[in-house]
Amino acid sequence: MAERETGTVKWFNAGKGYGFVERDNGEGDVFVHYSAINGAGFKTLDEGQRVEFDVVESDKGPQAQDVQALGESVTSFSTEPEDSEDSDSEDSDSEDEFSEDSDSVF
């Protein structure tokens, strides 16, 4: 199996769903289609974004496949639970206040 390659998004047109990645190994740019991007939801890449991918040969030349963005912040995921805990505690305080107020109204 070929080793995965890395590169930088040269440009990507989200409206048309394709673009090109400049390979780090200097072998030339690789075409990338939105369907080759891993992830859920709207699949797009940003100019200058670092990516990892496999290269397959198509009729029109090299094409990126199984594209994964590099440098996705793992810390942003690890801080989410802390933020949600804070908001949960705030929500529970609000609920307590609401239930106290509603008891006094009735």
Domain residues of the chain, as ranges? 5-69, 73-106
| The model scores a pTM over 0.75 | no
For 79, the enclosing helix (H) or strand (E) is: helix 74-105
What is the structure's pLDDT at 1? 54
pLDDT in tens, 64-94: 999 999 986 322 222 233 444 444 545 545 4
β-sheet bridge partners, residue 85: none
CATH of 5-69, one of 1.10.8.190, 1.10.3710.10, 1.10.10.60, 2.40.50.140: 2.40.50.140
Q: Which residues of the chain have pLDDT under 50?
A: 73-87, 89, 92, 94-99, 102, 104, 106
What is the structure's pLDDT at 81? 37
